[in-house]
Structure 1
């Protein structure tokens, strides 16, 4: 199994001008030999069927990181295809603008049976465990602070902190 430019599949034939790659869903891609030479090719079936997968996860800045990392490792224990050894590992990758970026790394030894389905199952388990423990998945948000040096204008209809009713003009 190989990956070229985000396309995963098995080489079904080699030609003078292109390589034929068949995906799990039966789609055949004709990849020009130039792309094979000039782009990164990942050989998922070289030497060993064992491959490490990575799942990025983001949590709010106020999250208990010890708890989040433990839950991520636990989530990897649910899918049968995830290997117990080497043990899944959860890491802090970066402090982002609107979240702390984490990553779960785990191993499988049957990539030919698909990798996205295992990632999906692990992500579902992370979501389920986070939800159960009250850990939210963050979304980008911004706090705006305006520093003009001037006091904010008074709202219309309020003077001396006393509300006033607006009067309609007389005809």
Structure 2
């Protein structure tokens, strides 16, 4: 006869350990009643010691990951700490689940109620808890791995952070979808049992969740079509700023005042969006300048070009230029056109620098800055006595 060498279930291992301790430490073997069950002090001490050891193991794994393994492979300290803490808490949760199974709180427990479905298509409470736990871990770890993949792998092959973020997000979604199917199959949930849930979800999307679905699909379009990407300077509606994150539901835009604005993805698909850095981060600014009619236009053009050429943030190619725009009521108006790639998110700052320098140069050369002037012509027709006075 072949001997059965399969491992004992956790509940049997726990009982053997408790019986062994009670036999060798008689002071702990006295029974008392708790919640209608006859137990000994060992039934309380063993789980407590187990949890303490489990916590020590979690702290040890966290310390090794943070100080020995990840510190040489991951540059972002925040990511290192997140992975270390998550590993610790994952060990604790799995350990507690094993402890609960060892005292009878498992799939065969009376607490494992059927949520929906019938016969082989039943979905029970513990199945949903396991799925939620594993799926949360999957989403969390894929987000951390995406960050490492984008910053340390893709950054070596592409200098465009927006492209790297798009590739990383697409890979993350694919892994989550595949992982979700694997988790569903392994936690004991039959896909056939999800037909009712899928029907209810479809009705929900048709009514209450249509905006969420719209934003999610818009997010996928943004990732694949890339009308905007991380690092772009955009303007949509009244929002103007830099794109710092493109997620499944919304895009985060950071303004010049360091205010993060969460914009639903559907707005980038359904509205007109101005992308200042879609193809090239070099853009042209217009700096209007007005001078008195007494000034020489050639002299003004020379001064303006010299100011632009001395500014380190103004590109030499394309070269700056000056247009004589119009003869206005009180001034000769010029337009200084400059190109920059460093101040696309702060155009007012660059214009302020140029205006300060232009004012100083005008003062050096005695250039008159005009002010509104009106010539008053009095027509005849006053009363004779008034004209005599």
Per the normalisation by structure 1, the TM-score is 0.74
| Structure 2 SS opposite 1:77 | helix
How far off is 1:97 after superposition? 1.2
Residue of structure 1 equivalent to 2:343: 111
If asked which structure has higher relative contact order (CA below 8 Å, sep 6+), I would say 1
* Cα distance change, pair 131–149 in 1 and its aligned pair in 2 (3 A): same
| Structure 2 SS opposite 1:153 | helix
Instruction: Select the residue among 331, 335, 356 that pairs with 1:99.
Output: 331
Say whether the 8 Å CA contact 1:44–1:111 is kept in structure 2: no
Whole-Å separation in 1 of the counterparts to 2:260 and 2:281 = 23
Match runs of 1:1-171 below 5 Å: 1-4=233-236, 7-11=239-243, 12-13=245-246, 20-29=252-261, 37-38=270-271, 41-112=273-344, 114-149=346-381, 153-155=387-389
Whole-Å separation in 1 of the counterparts to 2:239 and 2:290 = 26
Say whether the 8 Å CA contact 1:60–1:99 is kept in structure 2: yes
Say whether the 8 Å CA contact 1:93–1:103 is kept in structure 2: yes
Greater Cα offset, 106-115 or 27-36: 27-36
Whole-Å separation in 2 of the counterparts to 1:139 and 1:6 = 33
* Cα distance change, pair 42–144 in 1 and its aligned pair in 2 (3 A): same
Whole-Å separation in 1 of the counterparts to 2:332 and 2:303 = 15
RMSD over aligned Cα, in angstroms?
2.7
Per the normalisation by structure 2, the TM-score is 0.35
Unaligned runs of 5+ in 2: 1-232
Whole-Å separation in 1 of the counterparts to 2:318 and 2:286 = 14
Say whether the 8 Å CA contact 1:55–1:103 is kept in structure 2: yes
Whole-Å separation in 2 of the counterparts to 1:142 and 1:67 = 26
Whole-Å separation in 2 of the counterparts to 1:36 and 1:20 = 15
Of structures 1 and 2, the larger Rg is shown by 2
| Structure 1 SS opposite 2:353 | helix
Whole-Å separation in 1 of the counterparts to 2:324 and 2:278 = 29
Say whether the 8 Å CA contact 1:79–1:118 is kept in structure 2: no
How far off is 1:123 after superposition? 1.2
Say whether the 8 Å CA contact 2:242–2:345 is kept in structure 1: no
How far off is 1:59 after superposition? 1.1
How far off is 1:3 after superposition? 2.7
